[in-house]
Structure formats: structure tokens, C-alpha cells
Amino acid sequence: MDYTSINSLLEFSFIAGTTYTLEFTVIDDGSMPVDLGAATCTWKMSYFSNPTETVLTKTGTVFGAGNDSFRIELTTADTEDLYGKFIHQPIVVDFVGNEYRQSQGLLHIIPRA
């Protein structure tokens, strides 16, 4: 199996407690934008060493001309006590309850000084 299509989000780092915005644009298999107007968009983060235990879940805000993107706002309180390597996944649940996790990536949170 080719995991490059699943692990397609760019790896990034930030210092714990930093306010950070993540944005995701959702496209279908034919590279067409997906209207997220009736969907629920969330984001989950787990420690790399324990991917089945969710450390943080955030609800997204849909935006864009075609409602094809959503934004996650990380606040200081979300990450101020965290550090290490994490897996993160954007999640879309459509209006009938089907869940889509089309990609994931790695992020590093550096401890605060």
C-alpha cells in the first residue's frame, strides 16, 4: 500500500502555547471541491507513540466561496502543557453520518521555555 497519499499533510512544528491556525480544503476523488455546508468538520491529534488515544479534538469552521474549506483554531490553552511528536487528522462527517479521513500528518510541539 502506498501511504504517501494518506500521510499527505506537511509536517510542521510550533512552540507549546502558540496560537496556531490550520486550514484544510476538501476535494473529492475527481479533484473537485466538496461543499461542506451540511457537514461537520473536526480535527484530532494523538501522540505519535499512541495513535489510538486522542489528546485534542477541535471543531472546524467552514469557509470559502464554495464552502470547500474548514479552519481549526488552536489556542494557547490547547497546547501549553503538551510537547512531543503527534499525528493529526482532519475529519469530515457528511449529512448522513459518513465519516471521511482522507489524510493525516505529523506535527511537533516544542516545550515552552
Query: Do 53 and 46 form a contact (C-beta atoms < 8 A)?
Result: yes
The count of other CB atoms within 10 Å of the CB of residue 19 is 12
Average pLDDT for 62-86? 96
Neighbours of 33 (CB within 10 A): 15
* Interval 60-67 mean pLDDT: 93
Considering the four listed CATH numbers 2.40.50.140, 2.40.30.200, 3.60.150.10, 2.60.40.10, the one that applies to the domain covering 12-110 is 2.60.40.10
Global confidence as pTM: 0.89
- Provide, rounded to the nearest whole percent, the portion of the chain with pLDDT above 70: 94
Q: Are 71 and 103 in contact (CB under 8 A)?
A: no
Residue 75 has pLDDT above 90, yes or no: yes
